[in-house]
Amino acid sequence: MKTSVMWFRRDLRLEDNTALQHALSAGFPVLPLFIFDREILDGLSRNDPRVSFIYHHIREIDRRLRSLGSSLLVMQGHPVHAWKEILRKYEVTGVHLNKDYEPYALERDKRIESMLKERGIPLYRFKDQVIFEEDEVVKNDGEPYTVFTPFKRKWLEHFHGIKQSPDSGLDADNFLSVNHPFPELSELGFSHSAQRVPPYDLSVVRQYASFRDFPAADATSHLSPHLRFGTVSIRKIIAGLDSENETFLSELIWREFFMQILFHFPHVVNQNFHVKYNGIAWRNNEQEFTRWCNGETGYPLVDAGMRQLNETGIMHNRVRMVTASFLCKHLLVDWRWGEAYFAGKLLDYELSSNNGNWQWAAGTGCDAAPYFRIFNPHEQLKKFDRNLEYVHRWVPEYSTNSAIRPMVDHKTARARALKVYKAGIENYLPDSAEK
């Protein structure tokens, strides 16, 4: 039987799913597909909570599909090998997917498209995980923005000029009648994680601007992992906001800003956005880095954040800025070390945002905090956790004889960072490829 294939990736839902809607209206029964990509999975721990989260949601998709007389085909392996197997078993008339803008995903999809093209099978890509993509919000000369404020201004101009309404319909009659076995998580080489991705909560949005900087309040939406894996539509989220939610909307626009930075400047994955910072002489002391990872720096707000991250996979955004700044500027550890550590721990890890925010904290990125802006962890603690509620929750030994002494003096570290950054900029000589 001829079939259209809907390839789920970062869009783990049936409602308001752009590619799925197009697949269901393409005229052929739809085969729903999800591939556990070993290129990604092989680098993760056996009990990675993000894999558990993905598994839970595709199992829910499969449950709903079975109520419609269909099921989800779940495969594992390299996507090219998986697709070769699919094409041997099915007469595929077209493949529908929602776009992913990360470098690995772009290369993977290019390879799959080439393989399909050899067989005369079209691949249809759709915008789904963002409101605006690629070249939709650019300068008047077509160049991408590298500063957030004008990007946001143009984003809002475009947004107010279009109708944004999530599609809640689902043509359930057009799925392929199949009964695929659903694998156990252990068959994929993973076990269920004790860490859980919390449900998102938009009830905090109205007071988000007032409380978002105070980690003890936990007044954040926990929306980011759900947007990362597409368990909810960005269109649905934004459609529920009003004019009083400008600060929250700005955070969603930051997400799209960093996505287009990654798309237009893929070198940021492992290089400084601004090459003038390539001359920084990072100290990269491994023992000091380990103390930072373990939350043993002697700076309570930094330690509380790192311990929260290690135990839960979550860290409050204000604390992320403080911990990142401390690593890069107090310890002079390359931001790439911290970015990689966060990538392995964060439940909401997304390459573009993680990279963009780390380079922001290090001062090396687009629209970054200037290198001479160095957070004072003591002052940040006084300002955002004055009553020590957050610190006492994660650093119970604080204010006791067991408290860890600061591993570096703030004033000394600040002076050292300014000296090293300034020298790095002054002494940097671009190579021929950068001239």
Do 230 and 324 belong together in one domain? Answer: no
DSSP 405: P
Whether 181 shows a pLDDT value over 60: the answer reads yes
Q: Provide the pLDDT for residue 242.
A: 85
Q: What are the tens digits of pLDDT across the range 323-352?
A: 999 999 999 999 999 999 999 999 999 999
> What's residue 352's pLDDT?
98
Q: Do 254 and 231 fall into the same domain?
A: yes
**Domain-embedded: residue 81:** yes
pLDDT score at 259: 97
Question: Residue 424's pLDDT is what?
Answer: 95
Half-sphere exposure of 216 (CA within 13 A, CB side): 15
Residue 387, domain CATH:
1.10.579.10
Please report, for the domain that includes residue 20, its CATH number.
3.40.50.620
Bridge partners, residue 74, by sequence: 34
In this prediction, residue 171 carries a pLDDT of 66
The letter for the amino acid at 334 is D
Residue 26 CB neighbours (<10 A): 18
Q: Which residue has the tokens 């004008």?
A: 150
Residues 6+ apart with CB under 8 A from 408: 297, 330, 331
146, 244: one domain? yes
Q: In angstroms, rounded to a whole number, what is the distance separating the alpha carbons of residues 7 and 179?
A: 17
In a domain, 180, yes or no: no
CA distances from 425 to 277, 330, 361, 418 (A): 6, 18, 17, 11
Which residue would you say has higher pLDDT here, 371 or 131?
131
Check whether residue 162 and residue 122 sit in a common domain.
Answer: no
- Overall average pLDDT of the 4-16 stretch: 97
Give the CATH number of the domain where residue 160 resides.
Answer: 1.25.40.80
* 159-176 mean pLDDT: 75
Structural domain range at position 218: 130-166+201-264
Mean residue pLDDT of the chain comes to 94
What pLDDT is attached to residue 435?
A: 43
Residues 395 and 303 occupy one common structural domain:
yes
What's the pLDDT band for 12 if we cut at 50, 70, 90? very high
Domain's final residue, options 218, 237, 264: 264
351 found inside a domain: yes
> What number is the average pLDDT over the span 14-37?
96
Q: Are residues 256 and 324 in the same domain?
A: no
- The per-type count for the chain, helices as H runs and strands as E runs, is 18, 5
Query: In this structure, is residue 41 part of a structural domain?
Result: yes
Residue 76 has pLDDT above 60, yes or no: yes
At 94, the amino acid letter reads G
Is the residue at 172 inside a domain? no
Same domain, 329 and 260: no
Q: What pLDDT does 433 receive?
A: 46
275 and 409 housed in the same domain = yes
Q: What is the pLDDT of residue 244?
A: 80
Within this chain, do residues 362 and 273 fall inside the same structural domain, yes or no? Answer: yes
Whether pLDDT at 286 is above 60: yes
Identify the pLDDT of residue 77. 96
Place 173 in a pLDDT band, splitting at 50, 70 and 90: confident
pLDDT above 90 for 163: no
Q: How far apart are the first and last CA of the chain?
A: 57
Joined tokens for residue 223: 């929306």
Structurally, the chain folds into a number of domains equal to: 3
CB atoms within 10 A of CB 405: 6
Confidence class of residue 169 from pLDDT cuts 50, 70 and 90?
low
Residue 368 lies in a domain: yes
Residue 26 is given by DSSP the state: S
d(Cα 260, Cα 10) in Å, to the nearest integer? 17
The pLDDT value given to residue 434: 53
Q: Which sign, positive or negative, has the C-alpha torsion 6, 7, 11, 12?
A: positive
Query: Taking 90 as the threshold, does the pLDDT of residue 164 lie above it?
Result: no
Report whether 319 contacts 215 (CB < 8 A): yes
Tell whether 241 and 274 lie within a shared domain: no
For range 264-277, the mean pLDDT: 96
Q: Which residues on adjacent β-strands are paired with residue 3?
A: 92
pLDDT band of residue 87 (cuts 50, 70, 90) is very high
Residue 432: inside a domain? no
- Among 264, 280, 312, identify where a domain stops: 264
Domain check: are 98 and 64 in the same one? yes
Segment 373-407, tens digit of pLDDT = 999 999 999 999 999 999 999 999 999 999 999 99
Percent of the chain whose pLDDT exceeds 70: 97
Q: What Rg do the C-alpha atoms of the chain give, in angstroms?
A: 23
* The pLDDT of residue 367: 85
> Is 333 a domain residue?
yes
One domain, residues 34 and 135: no
For residues 6 and 19, give the distance between their C-alpha atoms in angstroms, rounded to a whole number: 7
Query: What are residue 97's DSSP bridge partners?
Result: 125
